[in-house]
């Protein structure tokens, strides 16, 4: 009886092994990007564009199948934002629109200048028509239902004269005058400008739903999600930081798996001034500490405090 049961068990085992021999090898899960938390950071995404990140919680999402986000390649990842607050100041807004949005010989708007003051966004420039038409607009900001920024025109002037009423009387809207085909990140809806930061900003893109927009001083502040972030666990050690946890992350010649990396501001009295393009210069000027859990804390000077800031690579 025992021999019969044993023979039956062996037969089942042999059948299972035989079936596995012809089965395709199990596929490993694709690498995933790490969770990220950013607090009190002035993030230089280009020389002229700085995002003032009050708080942000999200993840680095690879842009290529099977890819790993690399700090040395800003096109290798998007920052998928769950919640937080991010501000864009007047100088950065002008650089964004003039150097990255309305560019090229066929740009619909030229010589654009934007000022943010008294709770309003004021724009002046020239419409590129057969004859360049100078214009001025003044408006408020809010969030669209699909999570973009609407600059709502309260007044429009052309050649120094009020034209909003004239356009309305003629049944013409601003979007009939300004054509934005080929312009990334900005469209015109009736008399309003719609800005999609995820398309307008240079990489790395911030992808998430903007739920509210407000003006404070010369800054346009965007709220993502609820605006309140849930801290990563274990918690970051510092008030001003960029902190990655879990997933895979590449920087320099290193690849960190199950990432646990916190960049810490050596001078927390003001926001952490951080350059995406020059982060390695900051690493060279700082120092690191390995944690018992094999994580890494790196203490960095502010980018604007680097003595060799004007000399890349030194």
* pLDDT string in tens for the chain (314-residue length): 444 444 444 444 343 334 445 555 555 555 578 999 999 999 999 999 999 999 999 999 999 999 999 999 999 999 999 999 999 999 999 999 888 887 765 666 778 899 999 999 998 888 765 556 777 888 999 999 999 999 988 777 654 544 444 344 334 344 444 444 555 788 878 778 889 988 889 999 999 999 999 999 999 999 999 999 999 999 999 999 999 999 999 999 999 999 999 999 999 999 999 999 999 999 999 999 999 999 999 999 999 999 865 444 43
- pLDDT of amino acid 177: 43
2 falls within a domain: no
Same-domain check for residues 112 and 168: yes
In a domain, residue 13? The reply is: no
Half-sphere exposure of 234 (CA within 13 A, CB side): 13
Q: Where are the beta strands (DSSP E) in 90-178?
A: 109-117, 120-127, 133-143, 149-158, 161-162
Residues 187 and 111 placed together within one structural domain of the fold:
yes
From residue 99, give the alpha-carbon distance in Å to each of 37, 53, 96, 175, 302. Answer: 29, 22, 6, 22, 26
For residues 58 and 130, membership in a common domain is answered with no
Counting the structural domains of the chain, the total is 2
**Residue 264, domain member (yes or no):** yes
- Does residue 161 belong to any structural domain of this protein? yes
The parent domain of residue 95 ranges over 91-216
Residue of 248, 249, 252, 243 lying closest to 274 (CA atoms): 243
Same domain, 262 and 206: no
């Amino acid at each position: 009886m025992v021999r019969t049961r044993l023979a039956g068990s062996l037969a089942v085992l042999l059948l299972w092994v035989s079936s596995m021999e012809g089965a395709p090898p199990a596929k490993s899960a694709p690498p995933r990007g790490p969770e990220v938390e950013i607090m009190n950071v002035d993030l230089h995404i280009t020389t002229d564009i700085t995002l003032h990140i009050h708080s942000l919680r999200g993840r680095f999402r690879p842009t290529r199948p099977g890819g790993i986000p690399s700090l040395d390649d800003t096109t290798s990842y998007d920052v998928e934002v769950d919640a937080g607050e991010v501000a864009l100041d007047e100088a950065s807004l002008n650089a964004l629109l003039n150097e990255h949005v309305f560019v090229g010989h066929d740009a619909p708007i030229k010589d654009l200048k934007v000022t943010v003051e008294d709770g309003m966004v004021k724009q002046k420039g020239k419409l590129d028509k057969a004859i360049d038409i100078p214009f001025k607009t003044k408006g408020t900001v809010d969030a669209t239902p699909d999570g973009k920024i609407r600059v709502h025109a309260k007044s429009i002037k052309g050649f120094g004269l009020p034209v909003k009423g004239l356009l309305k009387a003629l049944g013409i809207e601003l979007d009939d005058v300004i054509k934005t085909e080929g312009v990334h990140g900005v469209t015109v809806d009736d008399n309003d400008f719609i800005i999609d930061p995820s398309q307008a900003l240079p990489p790395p893109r911030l992808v998430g739903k903007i739920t509210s927009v407000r003006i404070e001083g010369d800054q346009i502040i965007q709220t993502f999600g609820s605006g309140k972030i849930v801290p990563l666990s274990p918690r970051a050690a510092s008030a001003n930081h960029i902190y990655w946890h879990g997933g895979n992350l590449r920087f320099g010649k290193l690849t960190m798996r199950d990432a646990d990396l916190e960049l810490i501001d050596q001078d927390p009295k003001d926001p952490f001034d951080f350059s995406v393009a020059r982060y390695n210069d900051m690493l060279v000027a700082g120092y690191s500490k390995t944690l018992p859990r094999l994580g890494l804390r790196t203490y960095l000077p502010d980018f604007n405090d680097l003595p060799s800031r004007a000399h890349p690579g030194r």
